[in-house]
Amino acid sequence: MKVRDAIDTCIQCGFCLQSCPTYRIFRTEESSPRGRIARLKDVLSGVVEETPETLATFEECLGCRACEAACPSGVPYEEILLVGRARLRALEDPPPAAARLALRLVRSHVLLLSARRLWRAESSRTLRLARRLHGRGSALRLLAALPEAEAVPEVPAQPGARVQIHRGCVMDVVWPRTNARAALLLREAGLSADLMPQPAGCCGALHAHQGDLPAAREMARQVIAAFEATGGETVVSLAGGCGAHLKGYGELLADDPLWKERAERFSRRVEDVATLLDRQGYRARPPEAGERITYQDSCHLRNGLKVHAAPRRLLAGEGYCEMEGAGTCCGSAGIYNLVRGDVSDIVLQGKVREIEKTGAKTVITANPGCELQLRLGAREAGGAFAVRHLVDWLWERRGDAEG
Amino acid sequence: MSSADGAGSGELLQELARRFGPRCLRERARVRLYGYDAMGTAFGVPLAVVQVESQEDIHDLIGIVRRHGGKIVARGAGTGLSGGAVPGDGQVVASLERLQAVSQPDALHRRLRVEAGVVNGSLDAVLRPYGLFYPPDPASYRVSTIGGNVAENAGGPHAVKYGVTGHRVAAIEMTDAEGRRGLLAAGPWQGGPDLAALVTGAEGTLGIVSAVSLSLEERPDTTLTMLLSFAEIAQASACVSAIVASGVLPSTLEFLDRATVAAVETWGVARYPEGSGAVLLVEFDGRPGEVERGARNAEEIGLANGAISCEIARSAEEQDALWLGRRGAYAVVARYGRRVLTQDVTVPRDRLTEMLAAVEEISARHGLRAVTVGHAGDGNLHPDFAYDPQDAEENARVHSANREILAACVALGGSITGEHGIGTEKLGQLEIMFGPAELGLTWAVRQALDPGGLMNPGKAVPQAPRVRPEEAAAACAGGQAEAAQALLEAVRRARAQGQRLSPDYCALRGIEVSLANMTVRVGAGNTVAELAAELSGQALGFAVEPLLAETFADLLHTNDYGPEEIAQGTLRRHLLAVTYVTGYGELVRFGRDVVKNVAGYDLYRLLIGSRGRLGVPIELSLRLVPRREAPWWSRSGGLDDYGGATGLQRLFAVPEGGIYRLYLQSETPPDGFRPSPEAPEILAGLRLGLKERGGGGLLDIAVPWQEMERSLGALDTPPMLVLPSAGRILARCARTTAVAVAKSAGPPSAASYEGRALPSGTDELARLWRERLYAVFDPDGILKGGDEA
């Protein structure tokens, strides 16, 4: 959709306001989805000058898309957001150094491979160092919250498997065992599943969200080609944000005549791991009353892929407690916590309070970014709760489900 | 729109920036974002936006803007549908979004104090643990603020059973256009005209509301949703009237017409049974037995009226599925055009069929398609037109159709806006509903309370000259025409001769019951007992049971009530319209025979408690309610023991041997209470004793909760009756010292208001406003009666 048409779908009803984490913090129209849309309209029509200040609100946005879920008239907000951010980038207002570094790192296959090897060998030492330096900038704080590298289970190759797991970038460096466990769980649930051969690389979600659309398109083409080469029918990502972005490839490459159709076909094949497991009727051992757990939605899984009920069915049991505002962002939002650590921290504090209200000892999530952010929250709240990826939690309780 | 001139606005900006620092937004890019609301067609660029965080801020803001000749618009979340909070160019927006405090709920008296910026939808989480809820739920409830709800007197689907925002506002904390801070309490508390009713729905033209005290409801145990499908619209609307008249009231009763059903199905939002030409969504809440009874009754009535199917949902998920189409209707309509013009007409419930036919005929004649959904249980319909405002020809067609629909609704006895407000959208259309006398009086009230026109100019009420008394007779019509004519004559004479007027209510009689609309019109001279006799044996009745007032004129002037107050509230919850002659000499009618009506100022509920100082009532329209008679009367000791009872219907206390025996009627008697079938006789005896002349003067006071024991201690002689929920004490007492002690607590006032200390001068606002209103309504003081002494 052309951005002006997208803007025109907004009828200014304001139903998005309360769903927006930044609006709830600042209580100004400028920090709301409706205000951001009106701002871009003003900028595009020339009523308001286009400057880093007038576009700053697009950087402040978490991009969680909760407003899309609340919108009665179907405004494609993310498209508007990405245009705003791309225009901001065009004004040469670069993201912070840490964010630039992260974006460069995940684009390079070589760097990713070495990072993966390095992390396996040196994670505990790096973490010790990072934790000692803790408090010196948001990048280090996040690094310090990472989990140590753990043994990755063997996944015997299954050439031509129907379900292909997109390993991703950071996911493949820090959480390779979660990817592997997902493949094994899907097999246990009766599907033929395998990890996509390296290197499919990063899906480009972070680049698109930072306004670098050319890079994002290039990376999309690589992922599509890699997937097509496997002959698989379904592509799965263990990161909610990546999954939603993969689903949007059709839109991303809509103006590329050579790739449009391939991208659309690819988009139709994107699925999510919880949905697949749930559809197969897979169940792990339910949580007992004593081991209280709760679930934090990944924004993009919930609002982008519209996956809401499946993970909850997989987690159902006496010990499950739904958190107030589980569907609202934790403040991770891709690399938002690097770019806008100040706002991200306020959002995270609110989230930690809600988690504490549930009394949960474990918080389950479905996205590495959220997992890392919540681990940060736990570290700074004295580690009152553990954080698990949905797949890891299911893995630890596999095979002995009741009934 | 007027505003500060160039030089003045520069100084105004400077001073605002000095006082409010970064909370004063002034960059063009930022203030433009406060130029719209959800209506989408009104737009203005304010001079500045100030994010206020306290009543202190509001006071200072008004002072600064006033000094520099600017104008102020208060704004909540900007989700209004009539442009009420859209600023004019150069005005200053007071953003109330940061006023976020919520008190701890007072479960015993079912009260909650919330600041203006609190979002309606956020109250549920606060109230759930206390077993309470706040019923008004406008479609925007998840995002709209309580301040905005009060400004527009917001309604919503639950209004059919629980009323609208105005019925829930027990007290208002506000700052008026001259910077005076004050508290306006509704009902029996403050006495004098009901100023809180006047401010509710005034769209911020009389001042800025910073906090309100809300009266809450017991949370229902269960909810049941039912979907009735009909082939024809007429069958559905006949079914609505029949359900309403049966006296088993649903908590919501929503309607979707054929065009909506088709649109919702086309976009795949929901599916309805084959052949559905109209759909009713009926919801019942309450105790399980009550809910099942309601559902059975509605199903029978539905089938008798030709329903082709009846689906019932008991679980939350099934209920959500039935609601999908209704909730998604607006969005679906929005896809048909760039803008949606949402109308908001309300007609008496038994005129729904005619209204729907008129909408269809008028739309067709203008080549338009109306998609109509509505709160059928209230007679409130939202015909929507999707259109392109930039297409001049289509735009013109839409707006002439709109005006014709409003005229049709007024001809059916309805209101041009049930819950969206006048704002700027309908400012030019109030004249369809009101004559020159009403418009002139309304403008005079606005000018009296905001002489400088500082607050939200150009909204809610149009500028209009006041009619001269000698021309007022022209407006005279209707059943009471002769009596009204005589009254006008009498007022004119009294004014000319400088005499007091003593109105004779004997001629003002006549009772017209409409069961299908759940309303009744009564003459001011009719007695409450006469109405009760008229309604005996019916499923519906009049809720207020005054202890002392005989006629409806008395009831209106004194705001009397009895032990039913705890469940039914006072007259303000049941009064729909009043026809009256002002002391100035105008014959006016405010309100309509509909439960939802936000057209113009509420100059009918204003009369409640006014002691006849504003005008002489001729006819009142009242809401009827289903009779609910619980079998249980029980009694105990102690004044505060009633907290444990659910389904409480009546409550009073009398002194008996040194303690206060509490009598209550409820569905489940609280622990430790004993059955007391004799309670109604005790009450009847007390009423007689209190009315009897002799045996000392009658003392009728309301005191703050905290002072209740002390006042009672001073009296302690029968006949005496205490209504603990309202703090009201009635007694016959000759001992002047005892009376003095009892009265020394003073009325429940600002200082004692829910235990919070408010700034001094709080009562001053109400006193001054009353004086100014008397000057407008009764300039020569001809209505100053003995009551006033």
- The closest CB to that of A73, out of B32, B122, B334, belongs to B334
Q: Which of B787 and B525 is assigned the larger pLDDT?
A: B525
Residue in this structure with the two tokens 């909070």, named with its chain if needed = B85
Q: Which of B116 and A11 is assigned the larger pLDDT?
A: B116
Kindly report the average pLDDT of chain A as a whole number.
89
CB burial of residue A403 (10 Å; 0-12, 13-18, 19+):
exposed
Question: No. of H helices and E strands in chain B?
Answer: 23, 32
Residue B8 has pLDDT above 80, yes or no: no
pLDDT of residue B197: 94
- The closest CB to that of B78, out of A11, A14, A49, belongs to A14
Minimum CA–CA partner of A18 in chain B:
B143
Q: How far apart are the first and last CA of chain B?
A: 44
- A290 lies within 8 A of chain B by CB: no
- B338 lies within 8 A of chain A by CB: yes
Residue A1 has pLDDT above 90, yes or no: no
- B532 lies within 8 A of chain A by CB: no
Q: What is the pLDDT of residues A71-99, one digit of tens each?
A: 888 899 999 999 999 899 888 767 777 77
pLDDT of residue B4: 47
Please give the Cα distance from B547 to B777 (Å, whole number).
29
Please give the Cα distance from B490 to B475 (Å, whole number).
16
Residue in this structure with the two tokens 């995270």, named with its chain if needed = A348
- Mean pLDDT (whole number) for A9-33: 94
Distance of CA B286 to the CA centre of its chain: 23
- A72 lies within 8 A of chain B by CB: yes
Please give the Cα distance from A284 to A296 (Å, whole number).
19
- B335 lies within 8 A of chain A by CB: yes
Task: Give the pLDDT band of residue B789 (cuts 50, 70, 90).
Answer: very low
- Mean pLDDT (whole number) for B197-205: 97
pLDDT of residue B477: 52
Q: Is this prediction's ipTM beyond 0.85?
A: yes
Task: Give the pLDDT band of residue B107 (cuts 50, 70, 90).
Answer: confident
Phi, psi of A341, rounded to the nearest 5 degrees: -55, -35
Q: How far is A313 from chain B (nearest CA, A)?
A: 15
DSSP B566-585: HHH--GGGTEEEEEEEETTS
Beta strands in B291-441 (DSSP E): 309-313, 339-342, 345-346, 371-375, 380-387
Strand B222-230 relative to strand B278-286, pairing: antiparallel
A-to-B residue pairs, Cβ atoms closer than 8 angstroms: 76
Question: Which of A209-223, B143-157, B551-565, B635-649 shows the lowest per-residue confidence on average (mean pLDDT)?
Answer: B635-649
Interface of B with A in 70-99 (CB under 8 A): 77-79, 95, 97-98
Q: Which of B700 and B197 is assigned the larger pLDDT?
A: B197
Q: What percent of chain B has pLDDT over 70?
A: 94
Q: What is the pLDDT of residues A179-209, one digit of tens each?
A: 999 999 999 999 999 998 866 788 999 888 8
Q: What is the pLDDT of residues B135-162, one digit of tens each?
A: 999 989 999 999 999 999 999 899 999 9
Residue B752 has pLDDT above 50, yes or no: no
Q: What is the pLDDT of residues B294-321, one digit of tens each?
A: 999 999 999 999 999 999 998 888 888 8
A312 contact residues in B (CB cutoff 8 A): none
- Mean pLDDT (whole number) for A342-353: 91
Minimum CA–CA partner of B139 in chain A:
A15
Q: What percent of chain A has pLDDT over 90?
A: 61
Q: Cβ–Cβ contacts within 10 Å for residue B40, how many?
A: 19
- B339 lies within 8 A of chain A by CB: yes
Task: Give the pLDDT band of residue A400 (cuts 50, 70, 90).
Answer: low
- Mean pLDDT (whole number) for B495-508: 90
Q: What is the pLDDT of residues B651-660, one digit of tens each?
A: 999 988 778 8
Q: What is the pLDDT of residues B760-785, one digit of tens each?
A: 556 788 889 999 999 999 999 999 87
Say whether B29 and A17 touch across the interface (CB within 8 A). Answer: no
SS (H, E, C) A122-157: HHHHHHHHHHHCCCCCHHHHHHHCCCCCCCCCCCCC
- B398 lies within 8 A of chain A by CB: no
pLDDT of residue A380: 80
Say whether B334 and A39 touch across the interface (CB within 8 A). Answer: no
Task: Give the pLDDT band of residue B475 (cuts 50, 70, 90).
Answer: low
- The closest CB to that of A18, out of B51, B143, B331, belongs to B143
- Mean pLDDT (whole number) for B209-229: 93
Say whether B78 and A27 touch across the interface (CB within 8 A). Answer: no
Kindly report the average pLDDT of chain B as a whole number.
89
Burial B635-648 (b: 16+ CB within 10 A, else e): bbeebebbeebebb
**SS3 category, B225:** strand
Please give the Cα distance from A25 to A20 (Å, whole number).
9
Stated as kind and residue range, the H or E segment containing B660 is: strand B659-666
Phi, psi of B667, rounded to the nearest 5 degrees: -75, -35
- A275 lies within 8 A of chain B by CB: no
Stated as kind and residue range, the H or E segment containing B484 is: helix B481-497
- Mean pLDDT (whole number) for A277-306: 93
A39 contact residues in B (CB cutoff 8 A): 29, 33
Phi, psi of B761, rounded to the nearest 5 degrees: 85, 5
Q: What is the pLDDT of residues B424-463, one digit of tens each?
A: 999 999 999 999 999 999 999 999 999 999 999 999 999 9
pLDDT of residue B248: 83
Query: To probe the interface with A, which of B20, B23, B32 has the most A CB atoms within 10 Å?
Result: B32
- B227 lies within 8 A of chain A by CB: no
Residue B501 has pLDDT above 80, yes or no: yes
Q: Cβ–Cβ contacts within 10 Å for residue A220, how many?
A: 27
B334 contact residues in A (CB cutoff 8 A): 11, 72-73
Q: How far is B528 from chain A (nearest CA, A)?
A: 45
B143 contact residues in A (CB cutoff 8 A): 14-18
Q: What is the pLDDT of residues B344-381, one digit of tens each?
A: 999 999 999 999 999 999 999 999 989 999 999 999 99
- Mean pLDDT (whole number) for A256-276: 94
Residue B1 has pLDDT above 60, yes or no: no
A13 contact residues in B (CB cutoff 8 A): 38, 79, 140
Minimum CA–CA partner of A70 in chain B:
B142
Name the token pair of B188.
């029996």
Q: How far apart are the first and last CA of chain A?
A: 48
B28 contact residues in A (CB cutoff 8 A): 48
Residue A51 has pLDDT above 90, yes or no: yes
Minimum CA–CA partner of B339 in chain A:
A11
Q: What is the pLDDT of residues B241-279, one digit of tens each?
A: 899 888 888 999 999 998 899 888 887 778 888 889 999
What single-letter DSSP state applies at residue B506?
G
- B384 lies within 8 A of chain A by CB: no
Q: Which of B713 and A161 is assigned the larger pLDDT?
A: A161
pLDDT of residue B469: 77
Q: Are residues B166 and B421 in contact, defined by beta-carbon separation less than 8 angstroms?
A: no
Query: To probe the interface with A, which of B30, B31, B33 has the most A CB atoms within 10 Å?
Result: B33
- The closest CB to that of B142, out of A11, A15, A74, belongs to A15
- Mean pLDDT (whole number) for B60-64: 97
Q: How far is A270 from chain B (nearest CA, A)?
A: 23
B373 contact residues in A (CB cutoff 8 A): none
- The closest CB to that of A27, out of B32, B97, B338, belongs to B97
Stated as kind and residue range, the H or E segment containing B357 is: helix B352-365
- Mean pLDDT (whole number) for A137-156: 82
Residue B111 has pLDDT above 90, yes or no: no
pLDDT of residue B54: 94
Interface of B with A in 190-209 (CB under 8 A): none
Say whether A12 and B36 touch across the interface (CB within 8 A). Answer: yes
pLDDT of residue B468: 85
Q: How far is A260 from chain B (nearest CA, A)?
A: 26
- A17 lies within 8 A of chain B by CB: yes
Minimum CA–CA partner of A16 in chain B:
B143
pLDDT of residue B787: 47
Q: Cβ–Cβ contacts within 10 Å for residue B788, how many?
A: 11
